Amino acid sequence: MNPVLKKTLVAAGLMAASASAYAGCGISAGNVNIIGNEFPAIQTIGAGAVACAGDGVEVKANLTKEHKDLQVPGLTGNPAEYTVAIVANSSIVPLMNDGLIRPLDDLIAKHGGNFNDKQKISIGGKTMAIGFMANAQHLVYRKDILEQAGIEAPTTYEEVLAAADVIKEKGLMKYPFGAAYAAGWGIAQEFNNMFLGFGGEFFKEGSAMPNINNEMGVNALNMMKSLTDHMNPDFLTLNNNEINAEWKAGNVALMQMWGSRAGPLLDGEGSAPGIADNTILAAPLTVGGGSIPATTLWWDGFTIAKNISDEDAEASYLAMVNAIDPSIMNAEVAKQAVWMIDGYEPTPASAGVFATINAGAKPYPMIPYESLLHTALGNELPDFFSGKESAEKTLADVEAAYETAAKEKGFL
Amino acid sequence: MLLFIFLPIISVVTQSLHIDHEQVFVEVENCDFFGCKKAMAVDTEATEQLRAEQPLGRFVGLDNYFNRSHLASSEIATAWKNSDSFGEFYDQVYNLPLYRAIIFTLVYTFTVTPLLIILGFLIAIGVNSLHRHLKGFVIFFSLLPMIVTPLVGSLILFWMIDSRGIIGSSLQHLFNDPNLSLKASTSLTWITLMVYGVWHSAPFAFVIFYAGLQTLPQDTLESAMIDGASRWERIRYVVIPHLMPLVTFVALIQLMDNFRVFEPIVGFNASAHATSLSSIIFSDLGGESRLLSSASTTSVLTILGVIVLLSPVLYRTWRDWERKV
Amino acid sequence: MTSTVVENKSFSLKLFTSVFIVFWLLIAAFPFFWTFWGSFKVELDFFSKENWMNAITGIRTFREHGEHFTGAGYEGAWIQEDFWKAVINTALVCLFVVCTSLTIGTLGAYALSRSGFRYAFWLLILALVFRAMPPITLVAGYLLPFFEWGLWGKLSTTVVVLVAINQPFTLWMLHSFFQKIPKELDESAMVDGCTNFQAFRYVILPVMWPGVITTGLFSFLLAYNDFAVTAMLLSKENQTMVPKIASFLGTTQTEGNVMFAVAAVVSAIVPLFFLVMFFQRQIVSGLTAGAVKG
């Protein structure tokens, strides 16, 4: 280590309590530029990193919906435009595939950081990302409606079907179930959930060959089709925003929703009266007698670009470690996400995600070719739901579309 | 200018002839909050070496053009061999992504373009006959559908046509069918998209035709009146021939724009029922998958499609040019 | 004027024309009035899942804010989310796009229209082919080089790309205007001792002015409404209005604020109102001068 830097670090360590040292976060020089998704939790992290700017250290953050399209080109150049990418378990994959992010082990050994070992996300024994929050889709239900219908909260999709029947028969609601089945990413994600719930594996052991056109795939599609009978008939066009709005208007009694969207559902702002108070976040559902919940777990974390100078990498690491420090936790920040940071006190909004973790749900797979299958599913599944094709034919189409794409990308 | 015109086209054509390198896999253990799992990963060092040897990727000639995502030659051949009737063959072809997109794109282009030209023409004739003071006001409101961002316009309209929105529920009343939903069926979605297309583009045709009407040669018109031509005959034999060059211009621009229809499909979340050439490019490029070769191939096919569509118009321009030279 | 021709219109035809125009105005303008009205309501009213009449009566708006109209959407968009920054960026982008593309367009189209060579025709065709390329493909291709050369995220880069995308249209439109102007005009100017450029500047351009205005308006609208290019090529601080509005809509995992978006949409249409009002005459007289020819 260069002696000047060492000196600064020691000095910074000694003065950790004083405000002036905090402003620099122990960074002596370098540029930090962050790319990531745009939502309150990530904005908090971004702001935490930007607070390290000053004294010749520049910290910028570009938090945008378009991050998935920008991160690969943005980290490819040498030196790369972005030094930090905030990713989830799906969006880290393209960066890994192209070798655009660096292992963090050296930086951790050198600078440490106030996070626990569970937050380290390792691939092949190397720490590639530090996670800070978790997310999952899980069941949300209306206590009052289920009481009026005289049914217990469902724990399986079969019970959801039965409950929806009762709610309909009693005339409480016309379309009691809601989930984001919009063509594209959304419906593919619901298929993934259901397929995992039936115990499926997306790919044949040790290869990139798809493995979905089987009994589990057909069962998953049939279960989804039965659910659509209890959904708004426009379900192929309804995404999370619309489903959420239906919930707030009181038109849905059971719904599959993201944990990160639970906060606004519970605080009642923008909801019709009496809905927020009766909204219960529950564990995810199982299906077909399986024990693994039909959902996936997600994390968000930061990664550091490979094609940048070591100085910038150290600056980036220190800025990000500062941003995820347990000291950021307060009542407002705690509400923004299900944090994996020490010192986070679970809020009511996190109940569903914790229930999902405890139920042993599987994480969304970090596999190089998973996203290709996801895209193929999103494009081909609507044919089955609009009644044009059988389940087997649709799944065969998905596999064919996937194989074409995988050949182009060199996976097959 | 050359930089921005030629380079992208050349790079897109090149990209469409190549595919990525073979990826070298290693089995690794991935660990996160939720535990560890064995999975495949790309061996970046080995793949990097392959990439360094062939920076453009593997050259595959026209393979990208004939694979299942594009022209699907082998699937078409099988479908032709195995189907007993034309209907069955059509179903199998319709199941292929590119053909499905082409069918919608063509139906859309050839329905919307003539309709918007006719509507634009009618509005222009109507507005032209209005009182001078009213004209400014009417022109201004007529232009609104064209000037609003499609992304935003479709967001509002998407809600208005919902079965509980103002337009959707009015239609339910009108047809006396409480279950009518414009978003749930394929044919109604197509109609909705086309109506939107006409609505959005008719003002463009209107403005240009209206301007053309101002230059109408009065003497011809008056002599036609003296000859006792009826109103319809005057429109048929004087106005329409005069506007013909403008019709060509509007048709040229609108055929091209409608062939690339994209925003309404995304705005109306309609991809379950309708896909266009541009929307499949978008789905190839979007998210994590980034199928650049596939998107480039579809883009080249789109360009070729536009050239074929416009060839009659272009031929006419060429003839005029030759005459001039 | 056309009035001499139409004076003997029958009453039924007049009625029919009026009904048709009123009907068209209703279709064209209604969504905008609806949006404008709704932007002062809360989300549960404007996007009511119970009854669309709520958007008119504003029941929930009253319940939440004590009044039937609320400026909460505008406040959120303009004050909380700094929409004004996006407005400034849009103004800059539009100004430069219009100026640049008109300068290149008038000079280029003039040269092409006065050139007897065949390559001029092929240049025009090539411009057309370029326009046929879906913009999303273009943008995806631009990303990597722009990042490598450090050009990404800047307003100037976006201006150049928008000009490039728009240029074929500008070129074609202005070219057809110039073709209408007889060659004798510049020849006579040159006989009087003008250089080629002076002929263009002092003789042709004034005649062309309305056409230039109209073409400029079309390029303005393109730059103003563009989403594909601006969303991908601009960094957060340089965002223009349309991507900013899109960012109000939320992501898969998190909720957005739709009413901010609706208020921002209305705000974004207001300048267009004035623009169209102001240029309405020029659009029409401009197109008349050139009578755009295919």
The predicted structure's pLDDT at residue A256: 94
Asked if residues A40 and A64 have their Cβ atoms less than 8 Å apart, the reply is: no
Residue B134 to residues B139, C137, C210, Cα–Cα distance (Å): 9, 44, 22
d(CA C255, CA A139): 17
Asked if residues A142 and A308 have their Cβ atoms less than 8 Å apart, the reply is: no
The predicted structure's pLDDT at residue B5: 67
* Chain segment B247-277, per-residue pLDDT in tens: 887 888 899 889 989 888 988 888 889 999 9
Nearest CA in chain B to C139: B8
On whether the A135-296+351-409 domain is CATH 3.40.50.11540, my answer is no
Domains and CATH numbers, chain B: 96-324 (1.10.3720.10)
* Chain segment A213-229, per-residue pLDDT in tens: 999 999 999 999 999 99
Class of the domain covering A3-134+298-350: alpha beta
When mean pLDDT is compared across A11-20, A109-118, A355-364, the lowest value belongs to A11-20
The predicted structure's pLDDT at residue A29: 86
Residue A298's contacts (CB-CB under 8 Å, 6 or more residues apart) are A88, A89, A90, A134, A135, A136, A363, A364
The predicted structure's pLDDT at residue A19: 36
d(CA A317, CA A105): 11
When mean pLDDT is compared across A245-249, B127-131, C144-148, the lowest value belongs to B127-131
Instruction: Give domain limits for chain A.
Output: 3-134+298-350, 135-296+351-409
Instruction: Give domain limits for chain C.
Output: 85-290
Alpha helices in B95-239 (DSSP H): 97-128, 132-147, 150-160, 166-175, 186-214, 218-226, 231-234
Region A101-116: mean pLDDT is 93
Q: How far is A313 from chain B (nearest CA, A)?
A: 20
Structure tokens at A295: 């959902």
Bridge pairing between strands A296-304 and B35-42: unpaired
C 184-243 residues inside an 8 A Cβ radius of B = 221, 224-225, 227, 242
The predicted structure's pLDDT at residue A9: 39
List CB contacts (< 8 A) between A363 and chain B. 32, 34-35, 37
d(CA C101, CA A147): 66
The predicted structure's pLDDT at residue C282: 65
Q: How far is C136 from chain B (nearest CA, A)?
A: 7
In the three-class reduction of DSSP (H, G, I as helix; E, B as strand; rest coil), residue A127 is classed as strand
**B293 and chain A: CB distance < 8 Å anywhere?**
yes
The predicted structure's pLDDT at residue A353: 94
Residue A191 to residues A208, A212, A380, C260, Cα–Cα distance (Å): 19, 10, 12, 33
Q: Do A240 and C42 touch (CB under 8 A)?
A: no
Region B13-32: mean pLDDT is 89
List CB contacts (< 8 A) between C47 and chain A. 245
Asked if residues A334 and A344 have their Cβ atoms less than 8 Å apart, the reply is: yes
d(CA B145, CA B303): 27
Q: Do C43 and A77 touch (CB under 8 A)?
A: no
The predicted structure's pLDDT at residue A200: 92
Is A375's pLDDT higher than 90? yes
Read off the pTM.
0.90
In the three-class reduction of DSSP (H, G, I as helix; E, B as strand; rest coil), residue A254 is classed as strand
Nearest CA in chain C to B199: C28
Q: Give partners of C (≥3 CB pairs < 8 A).
A: A, B
Q: Which is more confidently placed, C274 or A389?
A: A389
| Proportion of chain A above pLDDT 90, given as a percent | 73
- CATH code, C85-290: 1.10.3720.10
The predicted structure's pLDDT at residue A201: 92
* Chain segment A36-68, per-residue pLDDT in tens: 998 889 999 999 999 998 878 899 999 988 898
Per-chain mean pLDDT for chain B? 86
Answer yes or no: same fold for A3-134+298-350 and A135-296+351-409: yes
What is chain C's pLDDT, residue by residue, as a tens digit (294 residues)? Answer: 344 444 456 788 888 888 999 999 999 988 888 888 888 988 888 887 777 778 888 877 887 787 888 888 898 889 888 899 999 999 999 999 999 999 999 888 888 887 767 777 787 777 777 787 888 888 888 888 888 888 888 999 999 999 988 888 888 888 877 776 777 777 788 788 777 778 777 777 777 776 787 788 888 888 988 888 898 899 888 999 988 988 888 777 787 888 888 899 888 888 887 887 777 666 555 444 444 433
List CB contacts (< 8 A) between C138 and chain B. 8
d(CA A140, CA A253): 8
Closest CA to A234 of A173, A178, A194, A157: A178
Is B324's pLDDT higher than 70? no
**Among the ranges A70-79, A188-197, C50-59, which has the highest mean pLDDT value?**
A188-197
